Amino acid sequence: MTGFLDLLGNFHFIRPLWLLLVPIALVLWWRIRTRATTPPPPPSGVAPHLAEALTIGEQGRRRLLPIDGVMAAVVFAALGAAGPAWTRVPSPFVAQTAPLAVALQVSESMMARDVQPTRLERAKHKILDLVEARAGARTALIAYGGTAHRVAPLTEDPEVLKPFLEALSPDIMPSDGHNASAALALASETLAGEEYQGAALFVVDTIDAADLPAFEENATDQGPDVVFLQVGGSDNLRTPAGTSVVQVSVDDRDITEIERLVASAWREALSRDENQQWADRGWLFAIPAALLALLWFRRGWTMRWSFAAVAAFAFMAGDTARAEGVADFLGGTVAGWFLTPDQQGQIAYNNKRFAESADLFRDPEWEGYALFRAGKYPEAAEAMARLDTADAAITEGIARIRNREYRAGIAAFEKALEREPDNEIAAHNLEVAVAMTEYIEETQEASDTGEEAGIGADEVRFDNESGRGAETQITAEDTMEIQTVDQWMRSVDTNASDFLRTRFALEANRTTP
């Protein structure tokens, strides 16, 4: 209902002067219909009852006349020419969902088992479901207890969030507590640089009364929209006005509701952007006008002057309508008649047909994004490497890391920082990539049996030139088993908790007076 009210509040006509034709058409319709339905006077010199008996033809008035269809078509065409609109035309370079900062309460109370397996584990699962449902949208992750910390900046890739989300537990937090005010400040800071107003999702079991003023001030200052997902705890969560509360559910109803609330925030923010054009929906009225025109081919329903008038109005409405709307109505088989390849690619991308969208896009950056989302990491990295923006370099770096090209990924993140030194996403990704690469290489060196150096596991190795070594027979039983790359990655994932614990402790020490 909220989404409908938002659309209704934004409804207007782009060219309202065309609406002046509506009352003119209605006046003409009334005059013509009145004249057509007025019975002729009885012939003079004949008694009325005899005149009625001698009259042949239709008795009574016709319910529908040709002028009825003509005027309905004229009114529809005039409304279409006026350009009805209720949404903005989204930029192809802006995700069609509001950026979202997810603040997860990581405290001892979240380890309660009134929600199985625990409140915290259920919260993690719900966050992963939400991130996957928001494919193509930017999501950041914040963890808070007694202090608040940014776990991951805004990113479109759920895989970036998964290992860090799984590593979160009360053990790695510098102090226990429910400092939602600090988390709100960090969420606002994370969303501050976004082109459109974002939303903040707090996944909690309780909110302290001391934190309520911060949320009330956020609402007064028109900060990011706040949604609470309550996992366990009291049935009545204390929340300030201007926020929404969603109860965790065993199915995906809670995820659907959160998506609806976040989408509503995005539409509201987009409607306030004066730089974006309004989406002309005039074609919606041109279609019924054209269908009504089909009645003119029926015998007795043709009006000589009507066809030219309605055709002119329908042309005006159709000429100003968006090609996307026509294509949506007619179906994808004729989309090429009305849409550019990039527009077709955007539609396929929004519908999560990433491989298809990659083939359609002519814009190289969007082609790279689509290749990445389709899992074609080498092709995505190659496409992004040809571009000169920081965002392209970040995507290239993530693609190379996903393709196990760790050093090349580090180089890509460094390239992004050279182009945009203040880019927090590039800095964070570089930090994570360096730590991950060092751990992987150290693990690989420790588990190397000498195969890469050309020394078999069962050969004799002489290392006594300095007088310190000893002749050693290396057998297969004495060697460490070489781990596969997937095993190394799992080791890195399990080590993410140590990484976060150290970083959170350093951040807490810096903020302590």
Q: Which two tokens stand for residue 481?
A: 């088993």
The CA-based angle 224-225-229, given to 5 degrees, is: 125
Domains located in the chain, CATH noted: 2-53+62-87+278-321 (no CATH), 100-271 (3.40.50.410), 337-446+487-511 (1.25.40.10)
Which string of b and e fits 151-161 if b means at least 16 CB within 10 Å? bbbbbbbbebb
The more confident residue out of 353 and 106 is: 106
Distances (CA, A) of 476 to 213, 464, 479, 480, 487: 66, 22, 5, 8, 20
Measuring CA to CA, which residue among 178, 172, 171 is closest to residue 144? 178
Q: Which two tokens stand for residue 412?
A: 């890509």
Distance CA 378, CA 399 (A): 7
Region 242-269: mean pLDDT is 81
Query: Strands (DSSP E) along 115-183, which ranges?
Result: 139-144, 148-155
Q: pLDDT class for 298, splitting at 50, 70, 90?
A: low
When mean pLDDT is compared across 16-20, 271-275, 451-455, the lowest value belongs to: 451-455
- Measured from the Cβ of residue 464, the count of other Cβ atoms closer than 10 Å reads 11
DSSP codes of every residue in 296-318:
GGSTT---TTHHHHHHHHHHHHH
- What amino acid is encoded at 200 in this protein? A
CA distance 167 to 170: 10
Q: Quick count: other Cβ atoms within 10 Å of Cβ 8?
A: 9
Three-point CA angle 87, 91, 96, nearest 5°:
70
pLDDT in tens, 215-250: 988 888 878 889 999 998 776 777 777 788 899 998
Least confident of 10-24, 30-44, 347-361, 496-510: 30-44
Sequence-ordered list of residues with C-beta below 8 angstroms from that of 223, at least 6 positions apart, any chain: 188
From the list 275, 242, 230, the residue with the least C-alpha distance to 109 is: 230
The model's pLDDT over 330-353, given as tens digits with 9 standing for 90+, comes to: 444 445 556 788 888 888 887 778
Lowest mean pLDDT of 194-198, 223-227, 485-489, name the range: 485-489
β-pairing, 460-461 vs 199-204, is unpaired
* pTM value surpassing 0.75: no
211, amino acid identity: D
* Pairing verdict, β 12-13 and 84-85: antiparallel
Using the predicted structure, report yes or no on whether residue 478 has a pLDDT greater than 50: no
Q: What is the spatial distance between Cα 191 and Cα 223, in angstroms, rounded to a whole number?
A: 9
For residue 242, report the phi and psi dihedrals to the nearest 5 degrees. Answer: 90, 5
Q: Which two tokens stand for residue 436?
A: 């991950």
Coil, helix or strand for 454?
coil
DSSP letter string over 19-77? Answer: GGHHHHHHHHHHHHHHHHHSPPPPPTTS-HHHHHHH--S--S--S--HHHHHHHHHHHH
What pLDDT is recorded for position 181? 93
The band of 264, judged by pLDDT with boundaries at 50, 70 and 90, is confident
Contact 10, 87 (CB under 8 A): yes
Tell me the H-state helices in 447-495.
485-494
Q: What are phi and psi of 386, to 5 degrees?
A: -85, -10
